[in-house]
Structure formats: C-alpha cells, structure tokens
C-alpha cells in the first residue's frame, strides 16, 4: 500500500505525510469505544498516509488518485467526533481538512462569512465576533471541531433552541464529490429549485463527499442577554414548562433541564436536593428579552418552578466546553459515555424512564442520568450519561456495547429518535434502520452507490452492513 503514498506525493509533494507520529495522530476520532480498544492494545492501526490538501483542487486530486487506485479515503476534520466516524486501517488514506484553513470572505452588512472547511470552530467564531457578529453555533466541541465537521455530522450547538442547528445556519456549501467533481451551492436566501442539495451532505459523515467550504448566514451579537434558572419538583414538570413556553413562541437560545441526579452532581450549590434544574439564556433586542423573560418566568412558576440562583447559568457558561478524558476515566476502571436521542413531548418522559431503568439493570452501571438541551415545538432531546465500573479491561468493550444497545433499544421502543446531534458513525450504524426504516436505508444506499460505486469514501460509516440487523 506504500504505492498510494508515492502517487499522492508525486501530485501533492509535502502535503503527504507518512511519519509515524502524524499517522498515529490520525487513527481515530474521540469515540470512547476506540479509546477502550487503544487501552487494551486493539486500537485502530495507522493509515497508509495522511494527506493535508491546501486547496479544493488538491482535495479533488486526492479523491481522484485514490479512486483510480481503489484506495479508501477517510476524511478527518478536528477529530472530535464521538461516534467512530473516523477510523483508519493500514490500507486507507486519511484526508485531513486542517490545511484548508481560514476565512475566505466576510461581509458584515450581509451577515455572510465563508470559511474553508478545516477552520476550527472557535477560530471561526472569534473571527466573526471581531466584527460584532456570531455564527450562533456552539457545540461543546467548538474549540476541537472544524466548520466542515459541523456540516458533515449534522451538528447542533448549545444555543440551538433559538438559533437552530447547522442546517439552519448554513447559507452555502462547497463539496468535492467522490469522483473529484466540485459542487458549489447557490448563495441565495431560499430556493424552490429542486430538492435542497446542501441537505444531501449535512449528515453524510464523509461518505458522499468532502466539504471544502462553508458559508454561514450570521447574526449580529445580541443587544441584550439575560440569565435565569428555575428548579422543579420532577423532570416532567420541568419538561412541561419548556413545552408550554416553546409552544407560545418564546425561544430562549439556551434551555437546559437536568434530571435530579445531574442537578445534584453539577449544581449542588444552586439546586435543592431532589429538584431538577432548568438553565435559561435569553438573547435579543432588549425589549424582546424583557418580554421573553417575563413570559417564560410565568410559565415556569405555573409548573411549580421556583427561581434558582442564575449563578448556576454563569457556572455552566464558564465550564460548558470542558470535555472529559475518557482515557483517564478508563484507567480508573470507569466506562463512561454520553448518548443523545430525541423524542416528541408525549414520549420523552417514558423514554427517559425506560433508558435509565434498562441501563441500571446492568450491575456494572453506577450512574445513568440525562438532561434536555435542545427543544422544539414538537419535542426535545435527551442527553444521557452513563458510567459503569469495570475493573477487568477485557470486559470494557462488551459493557460499553451493551450500554449503547440498551439505550438504542429502549429509545426506539419508546418511539424516540436514536440520534439527535452526534451522528451515526460506527456506534449507531446497526441501529440506523430503526430510525429511517428499510426504505430509508435503501434510499441512502442508492445515493451512495450512484456517487461512490466502489464504496471508497469513508467506508464502514453511517450505512449499516447490507442485511445486517441491529444486535
């Protein structure tokens, strides 16, 4: 397989890397399961080469050369994905987008900014912030993920309840298709000109093309911000308050409701024991913020919400982007992960109870909790955290898989959606059929086959194995 590195080098010279450190750094993303594999000496092996194209044309060259050589290509952004969307094998080439870096154009009056896809999220946000603007997209990984990765994984940020998820923030995309052709979507506010082609690549997870440029529709930084917090007697009463204020049209950007376990664990100073804490951030023109805070306050009180110290929100704002070290936890014998799902309002409480109960049946599970962090007229997400004590490292992977299996199964049985904003990757691919059905899988497979007939772009991700059933 060294042949492909030579061929790439002939075309792209120093953009091609085969030194052991670079190869090792591109073996995988932040998936906890891969961390377990590494810990037990079964982690993914390094790729044949890492290539860091500097231009869209170079991306096209890489895809064409690898296609001609029948070599799989694994796109790699910030490496912060948590679903195993990136994993190398000795025969693949990893295409890092990180040299596609920086601002292309920024127009403050037009609220429009184009970044090359490998630009880190935090860098992009700071660049537009220097003009008084915001992208409005704040995933926990904002400092670890790229803007292209946001699109490829169909990301949602912490301020999504008002500002929307990535599909609501992208004005235009540039994508290199598996055969090297380049798609640039039109820069138009809205179109009825056939199906929206941008949507084909939002959530494609590197299987249908490589995103090379992202144009955002920005916002000005808000005139006002107000923080508020309430605690509720039950998760259900808190959910009911959210449902009611979203229903009438209030849209605080941040709406986070923690179950009593997470409230206790993270906000003991601001939330009485046994209560569920709701954090709110209101943003907008001052008059709108004042009206919204009053409207939301009344509906929270109507559901037995009691005001809590807004310092809880400040605390969260300060610490919100801390990412756990799975490695450190594993070394202490703790198998930990988070799993985000979604459900309509009528199903969310049952889903919560069922998942927590199913996880707790496992004797190893020491902790199973959740919060809601993205709400809609039709429902909300739940973001589960589980922790299992597993001293025997050889059993960690099996316990991890079982926790996932139980969460996916209980979610589907409760009528929920199995993936809210982290994507499918490898960890959910056997469950995708539960979400989109046999026909949905067949549709995705048909599109994949027509764009990438030899399955060379990020194989093994998103689409279930043909005829595979979920465990």
Q: Which of residues 51-110 bind a copy of itself (CB under 8 A)?
A: 107, 109-110
User: Which of 6, 223, 331, 391 lies at the binding interface for a copy of itself (CB under 8 A)?
Assistant: 223
Our CB check for a copy of itself shows the closer of 202 and 271 to be 202
**148 part of the interface to a copy of itself, by CB under 8 A:** no
- Rounded to an integer, what distance in angstroms lies between the CA atom of residue 87 and that of residue 109? 41
- Rounded to an integer, what distance in angstroms lies between the CA atom of residue 231 and that of residue 256? 11
User: Which of 2, 130, 188, 322 lies at the binding interface for a copy of itself (CB under 8 A)?
Assistant: 188
Stretch touching a copy of itself by CB under 8 A, among 40-48, 283-291, 307-315, 329-337: 283-291
**38 part of the interface to a copy of itself, by CB under 8 A:** no
Output the smallest distance, CB 256 to a copy of itself, in A. Answer: 16
Cα dihedral across residues 192, 103, 205, 8: positive or negative? positive
Q: Helix (H, G, I), strand (E, B), or coil: what is residue 247?
A: helix
Our CB check for a copy of itself shows the closer of 7 and 420 to be 420
Name which of residues 360 to 419 contact a copy of itself (CB under 8 A). Answer: 374-381, 415-419
- Rounded to an integer, what distance in angstroms lies between the CA atom of residue 199 and that of residue 154? 9
- Rounded to an integer, what distance in angstroms lies between the CA atom of residue 340 and that of residue 422? 7
User: Which of 222, 252, 305, 459 lies at the binding interface for a copy of itself (CB under 8 A)?
Assistant: 222
Question: Are 443 and 187 a contacting pair, CB within 8 Å?
Answer: no
Structure tokens at 17: 């890397």
Output the smallest distance, CB 167 to a copy of itself, in A. Answer: 7
Measuring CA to CA, how many Å separate 9 from each of 6, 53, 62, 239? 5, 11, 10, 56
**338 part of the interface to a copy of itself, by CB under 8 A:** no
**153 part of the interface to a copy of itself, by CB under 8 A:** yes
Q: Where do the H-state alpha helices sit in 96-197? A: 121-129, 147-153, 160-163, 166-169
Name which of residues 234 to 273 contact a copy of itself (CB under 8 A). Answer: 247-250
User: Which of 1, 413, 436, 470 lies at the binding interface for a copy of itself (CB under 8 A)?
Assistant: 436
**197 part of the interface to a copy of itself, by CB under 8 A:** yes
User: Which of 11, 69, 99, 177 lies at the binding interface for a copy of itself (CB under 8 A)?
Assistant: 177
Stretch touching a copy of itself by CB under 8 A, among 10-18, 181-189, 317-325, 356-364: 181-189
Output the smallest distance, CB 379 to a copy of itself, in A. Answer: 4
- Rounded to an integer, what distance in angstroms lies between the CA atom of residue 136 and that of residue 232? 28
**465 part of the interface to a copy of itself, by CB under 8 A:** no
Output the smallest distance, CB 381 to a copy of itself, in A. Answer: 7
Output the smallest distance, CB 242 to a copy of itself, in A. Answer: 12
Long-range contacts of 428-437 (CB under 8 A, 24+ apart): 428/83, 428/404, 429/460, 429/461, 429/462, 429/463, 429/464, 429/465, 430/464, 430/465, 430/468, 430/469, 430/470, 430/471, 431/470, 432/462, 432/463, 432/464, 433/464, 433/469, 433/470, 434/408, 434/470
């Amino acid at each position: 397989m060294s042949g492909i590195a030579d061929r790439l080098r002939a075309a792209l010279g120093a953009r091609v890397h085969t030194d052991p450190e670079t190869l090792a750094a591109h073996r995988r993303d932040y998936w906890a399961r891969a961390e377990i594999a590494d810990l037990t000496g079964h982690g993914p092996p390094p790729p044949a080469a890492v290539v860091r194209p500097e231009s869209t044309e170079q991306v096209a060259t890489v895809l064409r050369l690898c296609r001609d050589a029948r070599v799989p290509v694994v796109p790699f952004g910030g490496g912060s994905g948590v679903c195993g969307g990136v994993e190398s094998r000795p025969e693949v080439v990893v295409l890092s987008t990180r040299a596609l870096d920086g601002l292309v154009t920024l127009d403050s009056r037009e609220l429009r900014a184009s970044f090359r896809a490998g630009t880190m999220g935090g860098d992009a946000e700071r660049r537009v912030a220097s003009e008084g603007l915001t992208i409005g997209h704040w995933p926990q990984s904002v400092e670890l993920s790229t803007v292209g990765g946001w699109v490829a994984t169909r990301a949602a940020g912490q301020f999504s309840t008002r500002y929307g998820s990535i599909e609501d923030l992208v004005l235009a995309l540039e994508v290199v298709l598996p055969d090297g052709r380049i798609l640039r979507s039109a820069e138009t506010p809205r179109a009825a000109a056939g199906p929206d082609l941008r949507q084909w690549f939002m959530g494609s997870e590197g299987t249908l093309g490589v995103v090379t440029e992202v144009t955002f529709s920005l916002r000005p930084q808000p005139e006002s911000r107000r923080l508020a917090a309430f605690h509720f007697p039950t998760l259900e009463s808190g959910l009911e308050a959210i449902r009611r204020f979203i229903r009438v049209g209030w849209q605080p950007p941040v709406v986070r409701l923690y179950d009593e376990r997470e409230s206790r664990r993270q906000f003991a100073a601001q939330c009485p024991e046994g209560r569920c804490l709701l954090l709110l951030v209101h943003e907008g023109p001052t008059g709108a913020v004042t009206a919204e805070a009053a409207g939301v306050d009344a509906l929270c009180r109507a559901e037995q919400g009691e005001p809590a110290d807004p310092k809880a929100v400040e605390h969260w704002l300060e610490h919100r982007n801390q990412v756990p070290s799975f490695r450190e936890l594993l070394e202490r014998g703790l198998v930990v992960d988070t799993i985000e799902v979604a459900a309509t309002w009528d199903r969310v409480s049952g889903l919560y109870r069922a998942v927590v109960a199913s996880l707790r049946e496992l004797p190893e599970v020491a902790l199973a909790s959740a919060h809601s962090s993205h709400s809609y007229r039709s429902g909300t997400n739940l973001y589960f955290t589980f922790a299992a004590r597993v001293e025997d490292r050889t059993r960690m992977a099996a316990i991890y898989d079982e926790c996932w299996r139980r969460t996916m199964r209980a979610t589907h049985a409760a009528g929920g959606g199995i993936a809210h904003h982290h994507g499918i990757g490898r960890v959910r691919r056997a469950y995708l059929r539960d979400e989109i059905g046999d026909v949905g899988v067949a549709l995705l497979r048909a599109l994949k086959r027509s764009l990438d007939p030899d399955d060379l772009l990020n194989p093994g991700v998103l689409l279930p194995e043909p005829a595979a059933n979920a465990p």
